Amino acid sequence: MSGDYRAERLELSPEDMRRLGYGVVDLLVAHYSGLASGPVGRKGGRGELEALLREPVPEQPGDPLALLERLPRDVFSNMLHVDHPRFFAFVPGPGNFVSAMADALASGFNVFTGTWFAGSGPAQVELVVVEWLRTICGLPEGAGGLFVSGGSMANLTALALARHARLANRTEGAIVYTSDQTHSSVARGLRVLGFAPDQVRTLRADADFRLPMDQLRREVAADRAAGRIPFCVVANAGTTNTGAVDPLPALAAFCREENIWLHADGAYGAPAVLTGAGKARLEGLGAVDSLTLDPHKWLFQSFETGCLLVRDRNLLLEAFQILPEYLRDTHGASGEVNFGNYGIQLTRSFRALKLWMSLQTFGLDAFREAIARGIKLAEVAEEALAEDPTWEIVTPAALGVVTFRFNADAEASAVDALQGRIVEATMAEGFALVTSTVLGGRPVLRLCTINPRTSDEDMRETVHRLAATGTRLAAEMNG
Ligand SMILES: Cc1ncc(COP(=O)(O)O)c(C=O)c1O
């Protein structure tokens, strides 16, 4: 590094900043352009990583350019690339380069979006992007929301809002309803908010993994008869397990009649509303009281980009606003939006910039196509699975998810164990990554196909290799 490197001021010279910055960009460009031809990633062992990375805190300055060699070698090589076109595990994070650059800008300018006073321009951008999402999801005017760290925080914030709006924050005897397909972040959010397990009715989903309306009606009636207070239903707008969508129009009508808050978790599936097929599946999305979105999933943003939309945005202020004296100068004039009073975080980064820059760069139509591609890829996978009788398709392609089992001539428990072993062997091979889940009490394999950079050939070759791995492991098991 050059001579005017001022370590004691934590400062680099302009020239060194450029060298580091260009080095970072070069590394990212190499990552994006080499991703498809490399392995989907690896999980390092603890001992191996301790040996590579354990060291005392460095007292003396070092060369950041050397770190750009060390990082890909020792750190980034020991992770799963959630943006790899053959990463079909959990919910992928396809991301996009523009979002990554927006993150760098937000971080470089260290944008504070808690108050209008400190970040009026950024707050206005957030208002605009929230409004775009509101119209995309079909919520009425008057709806609003905010960016948060992810789906978990959006669900927590929504549940806190529901507690405020329907219970005036008094939780005793209050009951929330959801299905057994709901993401665990909802149970965690309820736990954080002080709801006891017996205040949560987890209804067994129907044969299509959707929340059963009849049972919901019965449970709500029984709770009311017993003097309890049904206050919130959490519906799924795309379950993590199978992409199932709960009956949103019926739920919205029921919740309105019963004065129950309806929250939909669309962290995974809601962006599919941008496509024809997704819109049909997600009918009623705009009728909910609150909606979780997770742009770091199917809107292709880098982590951590979550979003909560709320039918009546004024409730957010009611629920979360606190006006301490040390922020008196920021309380602001009417029309000035202090996002720090709309949720839990005061200091918050400029997450909206990522989606704003991505949409400005590629246009919404490209997003539509990218999402439609994810829906189609699951159908390609399903077709490939259907060609081979060793596969049982457990749930057909829905919102970019398909689940299936490798069937072998063995006891049920051995076939169950085989599914997990296929995951392990596939991960060791490194070509693609799939994970498993449990449906109807039995392990199944699951592909989540939301990366628009996945080719049809990637998809078919993955299914083909899974079959070869399953056949080999089944033969070993029987031999
Ligand atoms: C349906 C659903 N809800 C919530 C979440 C949690 O989101 P996050 O991991 O961004 O906190 C996920 C994550 O996969 C999800 O699929």
List, in order of start, the domains of the chain with CATH numbers: 103-364 (3.40.640.10), 365-478 (3.90.1150.170)
Ligand 1 centre distance from Cα of residue 159 (Å): 15
Ligand 1 centre distance from Cα of residue 122 (Å): 26
**Residue the block writes with tokens 């009281």:** 289
Provide the mean pLDDT of the chain: 96
> Has this prediction a pTM greater than 0.75?
yes
- Closest among 112, 102, 108 to 347, alpha carbons compared: 112
- Please work out whether the CB of residue 91 comes within 6 Å of at least one atom of ligand 1: yes
Atom of ligand 1 minimally distant from the CA of 236: 1
Atom of ligand 1 minimally distant from the CA of 238: 1
**Residue the block writes with tokens 């060390």:** 70
Nearest-angstrom CA–CA distance, 375 and 352: 25
- Quickly state the pLDDT bin for 7 (edges 50, 70, 90): confident
- Quickly state the pLDDT bin for 479 (edges 50, 70, 90): confident
**Residue the block writes with tokens 């005793």:** 172
The b-or-e profile of 272-292 (16+ CB within 10 A means b, else e) is: bbbbeebeebbebbbbbbbbb
The helix (run of H) or strand (run of E) holding residue 464 is helix 456-478
Write out pLDDT tens, residues 305-329.
Answer: 999 999 999 999 999 999 999 999 9
- Nearest protein CA to atom 5 of ligand 1, as residue: 151
Write down the H helix ranges in 322-455.
352-362, 364-386, 412-429
- Please work out whether the CB of residue 458 comes within 6 Å of at least one atom of ligand 1: no
- Quickly state the pLDDT bin for 2 (edges 50, 70, 90): low
Using most ligand atoms within 8 A of CB, pick from 82, 210, 234, 268 the residue to mutate for ligand 1: 268
Q: Check: CB of residue 265 under 8 Å from CB of residue 162.
A: no
DSSP string, 53-112: H--PPP-S---HHHHHHHIIIIITTSSB-TTSTTB-SSS-----HHHHHHHHHHHHTT--
Q: Check: CB of residue 366 under 8 Å from CB of residue 154.
A: no
Q: If you ran DSSP here, which 8-state letter would residue 205 be given?
A: P
Q: Check: CB of residue 448 under 8 Å from CB of residue 86.
A: no
Q: Which two tokens stand for residue 330?
A: 């920021």
- Please work out whether the CB of residue 265 comes within 6 Å of at least one atom of ligand 1: yes
Q: Report the pLDDT averaged over residues 260-278.
A: 98
Q: Report the pLDDT averaged over residues 225-231.
A: 98
Distance of CA 346 to the CA centre of its chain: 22
Q: Check: CB of residue 465 under 8 Å from CB of residue 432.
A: yes
- Please work out whether the CB of residue 419 comes within 6 Å of at least one atom of ligand 1: no
- Closest among 227, 222, 242, 230 to 180, alpha carbons compared: 242
Atom of ligand 1 minimally distant from the CA of 153: 11
Ligand 1 centre distance from Cα of residue 268 (Å): 6
Atom of ligand 1 minimally distant from the CA of 155: 4
- Please work out whether the CB of residue 284 comes within 6 Å of at least one atom of ligand 1: no
Using most ligand atoms within 8 A of CB, pick from 153, 157, 240, 351 the residue to mutate for ligand 1: 240
- Closest among 44, 292, 42 to 160, alpha carbons compared: 292
**Residue the block writes with tokens 């009623």:** 284
- Please work out whether the CB of residue 150 comes within 6 Å of at least one atom of ligand 1: yes
The b-or-e profile of 113-141 (16+ CB within 10 A means b, else e) is: bbbbebbeebbebbbebbeebbebbbbee
CB within 8 A of 89, min separation 6: which ones?
80, 433, 434, 435, 448
Residue type, 417: A
CB within 8 A of 469, min separation 6: which ones?
422, 425, 426, 429
Ligand 1 centre distance from Cα of residue 380 (Å): 25
- Quickly state the pLDDT bin for 5 (edges 50, 70, 90): low
Q: CA distances (Å), 3 to each of 10, 16, 18, 227, 265, in order? A: 14, 10, 15, 75, 54
- The yes-or-no verdict on residue 432 having pLDDT over 60 is yes
Q: Report the pLDDT averaged over residues 150-162.
A: 98
- Please work out whether the CB of residue 473 comes within 6 Å of at least one atom of ligand 1: no
Q: Check: CB of residue 450 under 8 Å from CB of residue 90.
A: no
In sequence order, the β-bridge partners of residue 291 are: 264, 309
Q: So what's the pLDDT on residue 333?
A: 80
Q: Report the pLDDT averaged over residues 271-280.
A: 97
Nearest-angstrom CA–CA distance, 447 and 247: 24
Ligand 1 centre distance from Cα of residue 297 (Å): 9
Using most ligand atoms within 8 A of CB, pick from 90, 91, 190, 211 the residue to mutate for ligand 1: 91
Q: Report the pLDDT averaged over residues 137-147.
A: 98
- Distant-in-sequence contacts of 1-4, Cβ < 8 A, 24+ apart: 1/63, 1/64, 1/65
Atom of ligand 1 minimally distant from the CA of 90: 14
Q: Which two tokens stand for residue 141?
A: 């005017």
Write out pLDDT tens, residues 59-74.
Answer: 999 999 999 999 999 9
Q: Check: CB of residue 263 under 8 Å from CB of residue 290.
A: yes
Burial of 111 (0-12, 13-18, 19+ CB in 10 A): buried
- The yes-or-no verdict on residue 4 having pLDDT over 60 is no
Write out pLDDT tens, residues 183-204.
Answer: 999 999 999 999 999 999 999 9
- Please work out whether the CB of residue 83 comes within 6 Å of at least one atom of ligand 1: no
Q: So what's the pLDDT on residue 478?
A: 80
- Please work out whether the CB of residue 263 comes within 6 Å of at least one atom of ligand 1: no
